[in-house]
Amino acid sequence: MPITINAGQRIFKLDTPNTSYICAVSDEPGYLGHVYYGTRIVDEDVTYLLRTAENPYVPSQNRRDKLSFMDCYPFEYPAHGTGDFRECALKVRTEEGYTACELHYAGYSLEDSVSGPMPGVYGENGQVLTIELKDECLGLKVLLKYTVFDDCDAIIRHTEIISTGMTLYLERALSASFDMDNDGCELITLNGTWARERHIDRKPIAHGFQGVYSGRGETSHQHQPFLGIVSKDCTYISGEAIGVNLIYSGNFYAGVYEGQFDNLRIMTGINPEDFEWKLGAGESFTTPQTALVYSKEGLGGMSRAFHDLYRNHLIRSTWKDKARPILINNWEATYFDFNEEKLLAIAKEAADSGIEMLVMDDGWFGRRNDDNSSLGDWFVNEDKLKGGLKKLVDGVNALGLKFGIWFEPEMISPDSDLYRAHPDWAIAVPGRTAGLARNQYVLDISRKEVRDHVFKVLSDILDNANIEYVKWDMNRPLSDLASLELPADRQKELSHRYVLGVYELQGRLMERYPGLLLENCSGGGARYDAGMLCYSPQIWCSDDTDAIERLMIQEGTALVYPLSTMGAHVSDCPNHTVGRVTPFETRGYVALAGTFGYELDITRIPAQDRAMIPGQVKMYHMYHELVAAGDYYRIASYSENRLYDSWMCVKKDKSGALLTFIQVMGRANCHSRRIKLQGLDPGKTYRIYRFDMESVSEQPYGPEKAYRGDTLMNAGIIINSLWGDYKGILLHIISEGS
């Protein structure tokens, strides 16, 4: 099994197929230290790496220099106030206002089943190690939880904090922390803004603190709860990479602190800013889980480990491994200006083209003719949809299409019946006018009565018609924080309670409608995180549907999240966000890297584009399995070379692969390009076919010959120059005999 414990020496070794993670307890008084995280090793006793001899501290022999010991020991879960002056994982305040805390080892336990809190990982082939730490003065118990699966190169950590004696206030309670040496490491984070989410940033790690966080109540467009700590020579193919990804959908904190001895402390958890949790005697607090991944196959290996972990042990939906219906969403087609006739016309044309589901976006309820009103009034606008929702859904079903619907359940418009009835349900500080964003407020769904109301109106709609898909949107951050139900010393719990409320609601929804396909969304991709993936197998990646901007968004997203989770649609041009015109064909190739769908008025797009849709539908059916279930390899990055982009999806048994190549910029006097494939079986022989959009068939590509996998991966293939900008090509690499 993956976890080995040397109880005598108090060494804990967690092995995954290719990595080892080791922590151990120092001599008296027993501090838990981080020893090693890297390539799998056999020896467990590598405790010399704790370097306790350099700054010895053994209270019974030498009490003189405790603080120098505390300030350099590689604590596995560092606590504030007793001599470790670096950033810490835990800060606790007593009712008197004292904040000193010191954690000593108190024991361990091991379970052979994984049934952690939601959101979190699951699976039968895993083990959970609990290491117990204690602060006797505070009556505080800290349980460090480590989950490991035998099929996955990831360590999942979280922490449970229990007050056994007195009331305590958690000012900071991170999910995980660990220390390592900085050997010229670089830090990768994913940053952006609305319509430009998750672009990759990389920079050398310097002394002091560096990191990212959200204080918006959601994950945010701006930053991701992800850290990549990589060796200087790390590429997509080689070098060392540690990935840290918090499984959480609210205010997060992810940072690295380089201390005086060039050692790094890597931390992640709930953002301590504006957070506090009151722990009465006997109460406990459970942090979100965080996934750690180590790869010595560079960023590619890191991504593949995250993808496998999330596909096999996090996403729960019954749609997890199924082909998602190709949907057409009416947002960019009509915005608020639609009625049942228009939707049925779109559905009719879509059905004729092979599209499988119509999604009715914002604007179908209350008096919602623009974004100024009606959020909260989840009853159908019969002026728009004459005869009601069921009639429309039945009409769409009769055309052979499934039906999906948009909600923004967490919101309330000041101009809504709901607000007029319950103004106190909106988050606002009494006596202060709360700030609007998109002319809306946020419902305080930390309150049960509010959640119960939201669930009831949602299920009334879902029970009323055959709705098979829900897009759950969230279009503004939280501000002006106050919850009318919480006492003063619990107000700082609101942001976390809000996120727990979202989880509870989505959990309830999926329990009641297990076959429902749920897609999360937040003004595009502001809630693209592993927490949401527990409830929805796909998330709308970005409101930017431009194929070229998407190359960068999807590259950053795929660094951590499986391609099967990336909501991606073909839209009309000039693109509504950037005004760019790209070939319809290329838009299809880029959307194929995600869930694949359409976001356009199919009755009005140019006839030659419409004519291509049946072929694209076929393309999706031919290749979606490779994309959704395969291993992802990055071949070239447009964000680095500014000329072209390329990625591969390789079947787990290496019998086939799909290569996408996008020539973003044509170049004068341009040669063909040689690219090296990845992920194939070196000993297998493969043939290469191009997907031809015109004939909707595969045609041999390049010299008509069979190549060995090692030739394709080391010597490479030639991609002929494609005439023009924004051109793409799709190659299917098939092993002989398969």
Contact residues toward ligand GLA (CB under 6 A) are 331, 361-362, 406, 473, 475, 521, 523-524, 540, 543
Nearest to 598 by CA among 581, 607, 582, 610: 610
Smallest distance, Å, CB 408 to ligand GLA? 7
Bridge partners for 286 per DSSP = 160
Nearer CB in complex with ligand GLA: 335/513: 335
Nearer CB in complex with ligand GLA: 127/475: 475
Nearer CB in complex with ligand GLA: 55/372: 372
Residue nearest to ligand GLA (CB): 362
Residue 594 CA to residue 606 CA, distance in Å, equals: 24
Nearer CB in complex with ligand GLA: 521/613: 521
Smallest distance, Å, CB 475 to ligand GLA? 5
Instruction: Give helix 584-591 / helix 607-629 axis angle, nearest 10°.
Output: 20
CA atoms within a 13 Å half-sphere pointing along the CA-CB vector of 453: 20
Residue 623 CA to residue 731 CA, distance in Å, equals: 11
Q: Which residues contact 33 (CB under 8 A, 6 or more apart)?
A: 23, 24, 25, 26, 50, 73, 74, 75, 76, 179
Residue 247 CA to residue 492 CA, distance in Å, equals: 21
The tokens describing 478, both together, are 């939280």
Smallest distance, Å, CB 331 to ligand GLA? 5
The answer to whether 24 and 12 are in contact (CB under 8 A) is yes
Nearer CB in complex with ligand GLA: 132/473: 473
C-beta atoms surrounding 525 within 10 Å: 30
Residue 219 CA to residue 291 CA, distance in Å, equals: 16
Smallest distance, Å, CB 293 to ligand GLA? 29
Smallest distance, Å, CB 524 to ligand GLA? 5
> Is 676 exposed, middle or buried, given 0-12, 13-18 or 19+ CB atoms closer than 10 A?
middle
Smallest distance, Å, CB 285 to ligand GLA? 33
Beta strand spans in 124-233 (E): 126-135, 140-149, 154-163, 168-181, 186-193, 196-204, 208-213, 226-230
The tokens describing 371, both together, are 């974004």
Instruction: Give helix 389-398 / helix 448-464 axis angle, nearest 10°.
Output: 50
Nearer CB in complex with ligand GLA: 475/565: 475
Nearer CB in complex with ligand GLA: 171/371: 371
Is residue 331 helix, strand or coil? helix
Beta strand spans in 486-561 (E): 517-520, 538-540
Nearer CB in complex with ligand GLA: 162/552: 552
Nearest to 244 by CA among 183, 126, 158: 158
Residues annotated as part of the active site: 473, 543
Smallest distance, Å, CB 464 to ligand GLA? 21
Query: What does 371-397 look like in DSSP terms, one character per residue?
Result: TTS-TT--SB-TTTSTT-HHHHHHHHH
Smallest distance, Å, CB 502 to ligand GLA? 16
Question: Which secondary structure element, helix H or strand E, spans residue 265, and what is its range?
Answer: strand 263-270
Smallest distance, Å, CB 368 to ligand GLA? 9
Nearer CB in complex with ligand GLA: 21/331: 331
Is residue 195 helix, strand or coil? coil
Nearer CB in complex with ligand GLA: 126/524: 524
Smallest distance, Å, CB 571 to ligand GLA? 11
CA angle 425–427–432, rounded 5-degree value: 115
The answer to whether 561 and 554 are in contact (CB under 8 A) is no
The answer to whether 582 and 724 are in contact (CB under 8 A) is no
